[in-house]
Structure 1
Amino acid sequence: MLRRSPLRLLTRSAAYLKEEGTGTAPQPFSDWLQSRGFRDVRGYQHFRRRSAFNAQGRLLPGIAVATVGSLVVWTTCREEIPYTHRKHLILVSQDQEKRLGQQVFKQVKEEAVQQRKLLPASHPYTRLVQRVGKRISQQATDGFRGTGVHSHMQGLEWEFLVVDEDQENAFVVPGGKVVVYSGLLKMLDDEEELATVLSHEVAHVLARHVAEKVTQSMTWLAFFIILEWTLGLPLPIDIISGLVMSQNSRKLETEADRIGLTLAAQACYNPSAFVPVMTKLGEAEAKAGFKTPEFLRTHPVSTTRIRQIKADLPAAEEKPAHLMPGRPNLPTWARQT
């Protein structure tokens, strides 16, 4: 995705324990509960904070459980990403990932239909996006040659929709479902630029980035639960996880840029067209007054992305045997609203 909101971690909700009075004598377990806390005027049972001594007593077992569990998961659940060959932890099955994507895509599509913003298949924008998207997705699926997990790309039913909104954005969900907004298409100058955008989105599916984000959320939540249990102290989970997930998200966007350059080149598009796309997005952000610090962003700032894209271009252009420069620009009818 070109610009996207951070994936939030699930947080635990505090629950109070309430015992119902029966008029009978207190049972031993109830006596033990009362000795561990106090009951307020509403009848809710509150537990006392564990002492430092008890927290220290749990420290070694907590570390042992976390270490052993992490080693087992880390050694058995890692996958290699095609092209970059980075290995990442995945705890989500391919079927689960695909179902998640289908649910999100169905909701987005239904909302666009209800708002009468979904452009029909006969619209020039839709035909253009589907034609270029099909070429890129076929390259990522059937044209792949190399190492890395690629089985999830087989049998995908790719769909490319165009939503008539002014926002300059596009996104993809697992299962090969891509949504492009007309505001982005109006900003692009030619088919080469569109190809680099769609290559970036297809790269997210190829690299299973959504599954990686869900896995990161699960593992960080488990880590914080163990840490709270060990220390006996409440932690600002939302703040810490937000910073960590934002940093990881920026890394995934950079990786999608790198893979997307290669996919565009292999599909005989000019990958250097991604540079003007990022330049235009940066100008649009500046015009809109978007000044969020980079460490809080889910995407790198445009200047950072442009610098990295230029560094990755030589390697991407070496992949295909040749390029086909001078592909046709967007015709006049494709630029009209």
Structure 2
Amino acid sequence: MLTWYRRLKLGFDVTSKITAPKPPVRNPVPIINHNNQSNVLDLAIDVTRAVPTFLEALNELQSQGPIELPRLISLRAGSGCYHVDRHYDPPKILYIVVVVGFGIGVAICFGNVETIPYTQRRHLVVMPYIYERKIGVRMFEKKKARYKERVLPKTHPESVRVRMILKDVVEALHRDLKKEDLNYASENGAALMAMTTKGVKLATSHLEGLEWEVLVVKKDIVNAYCLPGGKIVVFTGILKHFKTDEEIATIIGHEVAHVVARHAVERFTKNIWLVLGQLILYEFVNPDLVDISSVFLLDLPFSRRMEIEADHIGVLLMASAGYDPRVAPKVYKKMGQKALDDYISTHPSGKTRCKLLSEASLMQEAISIYKDAIARREIDA
């Protein structure tokens, strides 16, 4: 009898637990989990706000010269990731879909595939040039305020000299862009082949009505850099290191080339995709490994590629302005950067840059342009 009583009681207890109404689930308080990544909405807001900040940080690093082992400038949200329950882990496939969807949305809404003059390389940018100019003006004003006591007056001989060279290069640029057939050099491994842009629409609208300015700063730094929108900063240290007009024209042509190719905006665009890729990889791979791999496999090679492209465009610009392009390889060789710069720096080594610019096809094209410019100058005279 006792045995049957126990069985009946056990059955009743189990039935009671199953049929009893469950207490309502309280709305869990969102908590911050710093081990997960920021949600996509936070990322979208921060990316939008980070455009001027990123470009300013980039040019702050550039003002110090080529960077070795730079920190990855990441546009991440700083508030962490919100979730509703510590026992609930959203499917990774959903996370990936949302992140990739955000990237595709940015590309569709703001993206524009452009063809760079001279090299005909196609690239994607997600910033209208009107905003690029506004950011450049803002950053340039900050540079003026920062170097207020060191900026050479416009009447200073060195300042006049740099501005005249910039004027020659910019005039050559606009003269080249008016041609129906624009010769250019395109990178194909180590070879550089002269071709024509006939039938290809080049991205030149960002150069129309551009107000080019140069700031000559009295500081012993062998460096110069450009800001978005045609703003250039040159330190007197580089003027002491390179004394001839041809050498200075090489430097100015290189900086103008960065503006022509919209490298600052392209770098910002690339970093959006880089961060989105990192957010996905963080779900599967150690974050430190992802960061290190991103720097060495993507960030640094991308930066060096842009510098090489600026060298190529710059040598054609200086030749078109009437400056001997054969000086350009010597300038980069004179910079004397280390061979390891080809792997751990934002800029290629001087030896590599010298070798690429000395390639027969590119140099022959530049010399031909230079001779035409000299002949035109003699006719005008």
TM-score relative to the length of structure 2: 0.67
Give the distance between the partners of 2:277 and 2:354, measured in 1 at CA.
Answer: 35
Whether the aligned pair in 2 keeps the contact of 1:80 and 1:88 (CA below 8 Å) is yes
Q: Please state whether the residue corresponding to 1:324 is helix, strand or coil.
A: helix
Q: Kindly report which structure 2 residues correspond to 1:23-62, keeping only aligned pairs within 5 A, or say none.
A: 33-34=84-85, 36-37=86-87, 50=89, 54-55=91-92, 58=94, 62=97
Q: Specify which structure has the bigger relative contact order, considering alpha-carbon pairs within 8 angstroms and separated by 6 or more residues.
A: 1
- Alignment equivalent of 1:263, drawn from 292, 313, 317: 317
2:369 counterpart of 1:319 = yes
Whether the aligned pair in 1 keeps the contact of 2:132 and 2:265 (CA below 8 Å) is yes
1:34-60 CA-partner distances (Å, limit 9, x unpaired):
4x34xxxxxxxxxx7x49xx44x548x
2:138 counterpart of 1:128 = no
2:80 counterpart of 1:15 = yes
Aligned residues: 286
Stretches of structure 2 that go unaligned for 5 or more consecutive residues are: 1-61, 183-200
Distance verdict in 2 for CA 1:160–1:67, change over 3 Å: closer
1:264-307 CA-partner distances (Å, limit 9, x unpaired):
1111111111122112211xx5xxxx685432211001001000
CA shift, 1:86, in A, is: 0.3
**Partner of residue 29, structure 1:** none
1:69-89 CA-partner distances (Å, limit 9, x unpaired):
399759962100001000001
CA shift, 1:238, in A, is: 3.7
Whether the aligned pair in 1 keeps the contact of 2:111 and 2:125 (CA below 8 Å) is no
2:344 counterpart of 1:252 = no
**Partner of residue 255, structure 2:** 201
Q: Please state whether the residue corresponding to 1:319 is helix, strand or coil.
A: helix
Q: Kindly report which structure 2 residues correspond to 1:1-337, keeping only aligned pairs within 5 A, or say none.
A: 3-5=65-67, 8-13=73-78, 15=80, 33-34=84-85, 36-37=86-87, 50=89, 54-55=91-92, 58=94, 62=97, 65=100, 69=104, 73=108, 77-113=112-148, 116-144=149-177, 145=179, 146=182, 147-228=201-282, 231=283, 235-236=287-288, 238-243=291-296, 244-282=298-336, 285=337, 293-311=341-359, 312-319=362-369, 322-324=372-374
Stretches of structure 1 that go unaligned for 5 or more consecutive residues are: 18-31, 38-47, 328-337
Distance verdict in 2 for CA 1:143–1:220, change over 3 Å: same
Give the distance between the partners of 1:112 and 1:72, measured in 2 at CA.
Answer: 37
TM-score relative to the length of structure 1: 0.75
Give the distance between the partners of 2:103 and 2:272, measured in 1 at CA.
Answer: 17
Whether the aligned pair in 2 keeps the contact of 1:167 and 1:182 (CA below 8 Å) is yes
Give the distance between the partners of 1:10 and 1:72, measured in 2 at CA.
Answer: 17
Distance verdict in 2 for CA 1:240–1:74, change over 3 Å: farther
Distance verdict in 2 for CA 1:131–1:218, change over 3 Å: same
Distance verdict in 2 for CA 1:238–1:232, change over 3 Å: closer
CA shift, 1:316, in A, is: 2.2
Q: Please state whether the residue corresponding to 1:318 is helix, strand or coil.
A: helix
**Partner of residue 330, structure 1:** none
